Structure 1
Amino acid sequence: MLFVFCFLSTTLLLCNRRKCDSNSESYEDNVNLIKFGGFSKEVKMSKVFKYNEVNSKNEGIRRTRSRKGFVEEGEDDDLKIERTAFKNFEESNDIVNKPRVSKMEMEERIQKLAKSLNGADIDMPEWMFSKMMRSAKIKFSDYCILRVIQVLGKLGNWRRVLQVIEWLEVRERFKSHRLRHIYTTALDVLGKARRPVEALNLFRSMQQQMASYPDIVAYHSIAVTLGQAGHMTELFDVIDSMRSPPKKKFKTGPLGKWDPRLEPDIVVYNAVLNACARRKQWEGAFWVLQQLKQQHLLPSTTTYGLVMEVMFECGKYNLVHEFFRKMDKSCIPNALTYRVLVNTLWKEDRIDEAVSVVQVMEKRGIVGSAALYYDLARCLCSAGRCQEALMQIEKICKVANKPLVVTYTGLIQACLDSGNIENGAYIFNQMQKYCSPNLVTCNIMLKAYLDHGLFDEAKELFQKMSKDANENSSKCNDLNGVVADSYTFNIMLDACVQRNRWDEFEHVYRRMLRHGFHFNAKRHLRMILDAARAGKGELLETTWEEMDRAERTPPLPLIKERFCMKLEKNDYASAVSCITIHPASELQALSKSVWLNLYKDNASRFQQETIIGLVEAVDMIIGKSESPNPVLDNLLASSKQILRTGLV
């Protein structure tokens, strides 16, 4: 037994020694392999096995392979938990990484979010706005925010752009690396929307932090916006801040010395010229030229064009020609300078010279702008040369961005401004061959017809504009669906009242109500009262019924007129109901003196028997009523006084 025990012990010791030697050899091999970037075959196979085992359990789920993602066998649970705590999101095997979204799909989500924000109520609460932003399933990077702002800018919703900026400022999880670019994009949106005050406020908030401190692009954007709006003082403040160090001290850190100061360039000075043109300050143009000379900057063609525009706005036409000749010697004029020159010749009533200037420009190979040909066409229309003006339409179409209807409308307005209604009507008829007039065009022509006494032509145009849906479906409308608005109805009602055309007035007024436009006391009260006294009492009844359906209290003049109409017909119940159907608190103005004045003003309309019948009817109503009615009491007292004095 002792021998067997000694044999087994010796065998066990030899096995353990061999195992330790093999472990030490594999350890040394692995160390040597790791030094040269490799792994032993056993280690590689074990790791591949573990990786495949994890993927087999979570089939179809995309995982990130990382050297920290593999946990060696034999480690205890505490060590696993400790290592997991130090893993980031990308390296953790416990978090499922969603597949990357393609650029096209991300763009679709951005477009959908922007359209949703554009269509939502601007006064929505902050929590609802945040919920809408989060529900878009977009990772809000700098690019995504820029795209959302750009799309909202194209939709013209500058208010929503500011709301997005405010949302980003309070969102702590959003870490922007291009915050200045986001603010500059928002500045551009506000500039295109002609919102200089909001743009200046945003620009000042950019100056409050180093990450968004304005660069030359931001200075260009705010300068152009302020210049186009004519804000001269604010523009010079921006130039001063451009040249000065930041008012707020920033921690530059590893950047060391950081100097964001810049000198104004030609773009900023052109913006100053824009402001001078809006403010009509021709001295500022010479100041700009002097500054350019001091800084050794050559004026561009655009600069000369803006200087000419300043002189044109200030009425200094001789300086316009002088600067044009000076520019023509040093550089080639562009379409802007020729446009200012054409407008100057138009103001000087030199129409032929304006035409020849454009011909010279075309011979020099300079491409004219739509604004240039548009101004030339209006110039010709004002001179009564409509045929030549219409010849410019083809040139305008080649370079224009605006719809053709806008061009024709401008030509019509130019004819009307010169007092030539015939040429305006001619262009209006011609435009219908190439494009459909819009509501603005039709309203301009309608008012022009009425102002020049062409009531029948105005009536015909109005009938086309105010056709009902069933009429439009049965017959093709020449105006292609143009529907009259409140302005259309009001100018027609005014014209009918001025000409005492009460039949047409009734027709227009009923169409107005049919189109969904309601009675406006400030606008229509006097018209309805005059129409009722002219024999169109049905319109007063129609108005009364419409206000009753809308649960609106009629104005006092309308109540008094309807009362008189019913009393004149000895309809005492209807006359009294004009008062009793409304709360007495809303008719406190109907005092005893008001009723007396009403009787005196309408004495010819009432007989003594009529007043006696009214007194009896009011006495009966007051006797049956449980609560007092001061308005009826005043009516009864004034009626008895009228009977005693014998005024009727």
Structure 2
Amino acid sequence: MPEWMFSQMMRSAQIKFSDHSILRIIQILGRLGNWRRVLQVIEWLRSRERFKSHKLRYIYTAALDALGKAKRPVEALNLFHAMQEHITSYPDLVAYRCIAVTLGQAGHMKELFDVIDTMRSPPKKKFKTNIIEKFDPRLEPDVVVYNSVLNACVRRKSWEGAFWVLQQLKLRNDQPSITTYGLVMEVMFECGKYNLVHDFFKKMQKSCVPNALTYKVLVSTLWKEGKTDEALLAVEDMERRGIVGTASLYYDLARCLGSAGRCEEALMQMGKICKVATKPLVVTYTGLIQACLDSGDIQSGAYIYNHMHQFCSPNLITYNIMLKGYLDSGMFEEAKQMFFKLLDNGNSISSKLDSKDKVFPDVYTFNLMLDACAAGKKWDDLKFAYSHMLKYGYHFNAKRHIQIVLDSCRAGKVELLEATWKDLARADRVPPVPLVKEMFRVQLERGNSAAALACVTDYPPAESQAFSAKFWMKLFVENSDRLSDGTLLRLLQEVSRVVTRNDSRILNNLMASCKEFLRTRSTKLDRVPRETALVC
């Protein structure tokens, strides 16, 4: 449903909305992640058509929560500022928590500190009240707000902010919670201060029992430090305490073991992951493969790739990761076989049902193979991969493919240039200047002056500066040993006929340079016998 239709429906509905019904609408939209509709409801609410709210603050807070879950910090902050305009909607502690969590998860540190200052300050706007008591909404941040600051510190990699939070809690005589300790450890991990991660873990154990989050950060830290055995012992200690590990914890441990070449032990963690995981199994296997490849161990990555076929089928990301791993390790033939397998999936499609279970190469797959073939000067393989890329509907990309096409052409393989030229013509796209120059040269070397001239006849005048008289002369000089006088004379005749009908700067420059080159070459040829006679 378009946005305007939803707004029209709200305005034209013959319904008297209550606070409860508006709250329910916002909560339902929030669960669906439809934050735009939430803002439309708030916009309708501000118009106050057939609606008198007695719980405006709760409605705005529910909208803040919906925007936070949808990861829309800017919109949430705008709504928060709007809440401060009226006494009935002025933020309370729950609203401050909502906006703090949203800003913290987004890493908006400055805005978050502004919110904390707002909590501690009286309203900027003076409100009229019928109550004898003075309206004083000032509040002190609680542990939820401070934990939000730590979330922002994780995103910003600000260890100073983490110590500020601990200092504030100490001034309040509040003991950091297990969640606070876990977030502080995460900040130190992101900042690369691994010694402080261990220090806070030991300090936390003196006052509270570690949870899965703190163990996850500990395992990640030990992994970064290359302490695989210690990471394994940490998880065993966690299990002895009766703490249920999260899927991400076992996943990090499995990647730690895999990157150390201990594939069998890494795969043993899969059973534990499956008990608590919410993501598909293929995602976990792909992450293990990536961890192995990041450590430079292609053999372990290939082992896990072969093992995963017993439980799930690789997806396109898995294939691309393995393909890149093979190519980076110099295993071109293995990469080639995997590429052929992906192409075979496309050849074996007979119905729409077949296509659901098949994995096909994408543009990233083709670019990997094209770059590898060009780097290894495997021109036949390059031609094969490039032709299939066009067949699969992925068109020529000047930024990615122009150098590959030019290199292959200069190596004597003009098929890529011709295929690209046809593809651009079918798509009604203007060929880039370097391709035009190369095609002109190829056609002229073949003696086909008419085809060479056709390359530049209808070229946009805006690019005429690229085809200056100096450029044409340089082209003729560099290829003089492969261009016959007969070909150039025929080209001159063709250009002369076209120029009379089409006064183009490109063609005028071409004609002038061609005449000058023929005159210069004939002059040099005339001098050769005279110089020879003088020597004799």
TM-score by shorter chain over 0.5: yes
Report the CA distance between 1:622 and its aligned residue: 3.4
Amino acid at match of 2:492: V
Distance in 2 separating the partners of 1:130 and 1:600: 69
Relative distance call for 1:435 and 1:134 in structure 2 (3 A) is farther
Task: Report whether the alignment pairs 1:307 with 2:184.
Answer: yes
Deviation at 1:596, TM superposition (A): 0.9
- Structure 2 vs 1, CA of residues 582 and 264 (structure 1 numbering), >3 Å: closer, same or farther? same
2:473 corresponds to which residue?
A: 596
Q: 1:565 aligns with which of 424, 429, 442?
A: 442
Q: Helix, strand or coil: the match of 1:368? A: coil
Matched letter for residue 325 of structure 1: K
Once the 2 structures are TM-superposed, how far is the Cα of residue 181 of structure 1 from its aligned partner? 3.2
1:492-507 superposed matches below 5 A: 492-507=369-384
The superposition leaves residues 467-511 of structure 1 with CA deviations (integer Å, 9 ceiling, x where unpaired) of 565523389989932232222211211111111112221221122
Q: Provide the rounded CA distance (Å) in 2 between the counterparts of 1:542 and 1:489.
A: 16
Q: In the TM superposition, what whole-angstrom CA distance separates every residue of 1:58-81 from its partner, at most 9, and x where no partner exists?
A: xxxxxxxxxxxxxxxxxxxxxxxx
Q: CA deviation at 1:620?
A: 3.1
**Alpha-carbon distance in 2 for matches of 1:207, 1:514:** 59
Equivalent residues of 2:19, 2:59 under 8 A apart: yes
What is the CA-CA distance between 1:523 and the residue it aligns to?
1.6
2:212 aligned partner, one-letter code: A
Aligned with 1:203 (options 46, 60, 80) = 80
Residue identity opposite 1:454 in structure 2? M
Number of residue pairs the alignment of both structures matches = 523
Check if 1:533 corresponds to 2:410.
yes
Residue 575 (structure 1) aligned with residue 448 (structure 2): no
| Residue deviations 1:548-590 (CA, integer Å, cap 9, x gap) | 2222211121112111222222222212221223354554532
> How has the CA–CA distance of structure 1 residues 187 and 475 changed in structure 2, closer, same or farther, with 3 Å as cutoff?
closer
SS state at 2:140 partner = coil
Matched, 1:446 2:311: no
Name the counterpart of 1:4. Answer: none
* Equivalent-residue separation in structure 2 for 1:637 and 1:400 (angstroms): 73
Indicate conservation of the 8 Å contact 1:232/1:272, yes or no: yes
Please state if 1:341 is matched with 2:218.
yes
Q: Residue 160 of structure 1: CA displacement?
A: 5.2
Q: CA distance change for structure 1 residues 541 and 284 in 2, over 3 Å: closer, same or farther? A: closer
Q: Which AA in structure 2 matches 1:209? A: H
Q: Which amino acid aligns with 2:78?
A: N
Q: Distance in 2 between matches of 1:406 and 1:568?
A: 53
The one-letter amino acid of 1:629's match is S
TM-aligned CA deviation for residue 305 of structure 1: 1.7
Report sequence identity in percent: 64
CA gap 1:354/1:629 in 2 versus in 1, 3 angstroms: closer
> What does the per-residue CA deviation read over 1:407-449, in whole Å, with 9 as the maximum and x for residues that have no partner?
2222111111111011111112222322232222222111111
**Comparing 473-482 with 165-174, which one deviates more in the overlay?**
473-482
Contact persistence 1:464–1:479 (CA under 8 A): no
Inter-partner Cα distance in structure 1 for 2:487 and 2:508:
18
Higher RCO (CA < 8 A, seq sep 6+): 2
Confirm or deny that 1:233 pairs with 2:110.
yes
Tell me if structure 1 keeps the 8 A contact 2:346–2:360: no
Alignment RMSD, CA only?
Answer: 2.9
Residue 507 of structure 2 is aligned to residue 632 of structure 1? yes
Matched, 1:552 2:429: yes
2:367 & 2:9 partners in 1: Cα distance?
42
Name stretches of at least 5 consecutive residues in structure 1 with no aligned partner: 1-115
| Aligned pairs (5 A) from 1:175-186 | 175-186=52-63
Give the greater-gyration-radius structure (CA). 1
Aligned runs of 1:167-316 on 2, under 5 Å?
167-170=44-47, 172-253=49-130, 257-316=134-193
Counterpart AA for 2:87: M
Alignment match of 2:202 (pick from 317, 325, 339): 325
Contact persistence 1:572–1:617 (CA under 8 A): yes
> Is the contact between residue 436 and residue 480 of structure 1 (CA under 8 Å) also seen in structure 2?
no
Contact 2:103 2:112 in 1 (8 A): yes
Structure 1 pair 240–476 and aligned structure 2 pair: CA distance change class (3 A): closer
Deviation of 1:129 after TM superposition, in Å, equals 5.3
- C-alpha distance in 2 between matches for 1:157 and 1:531: 50
Structure 1 match to 2:367: 490
Cα distance in structure 2, aligned partners of 1:645 and 1:509:
41
Question: Deviations for 1:5-34, whole angstroms, at most 9, x for unmatched residues?
Answer: xxxxxxxxxxxxxxxxxxxxxxxxxxxxxx
Alignment of 1:5-24 (within 5 A): none
Provide closer, same or farther for how the CA distance between residues 531 and 259 of structure 1 changes in structure 2, counting only shifts above 3 A.
same
Change (3 A) 1:524 1:250: same
Instruction: State the shift of 1:143 in Å.
Output: 4.8
Residue of structure 1 aligned with 2:398, choices 521, 525, 528:
521
Match of 1:47 in 2: none
Q: Is the 8 A contact 1:196 1:226 kept in 2?
A: yes
2:528 is matched with none
2:248 counterpart of 1:405: no
The corresponding residue for 2:239 is 362
Question: Which deviates further from its counterpart, 443-452 or 315-324?
Answer: 315-324
Contact 2:23–2:59 under 8 Å retained in 1: yes
Change over 3 Å in CA distance of 1:553–1:170 after alignment to 2: farther
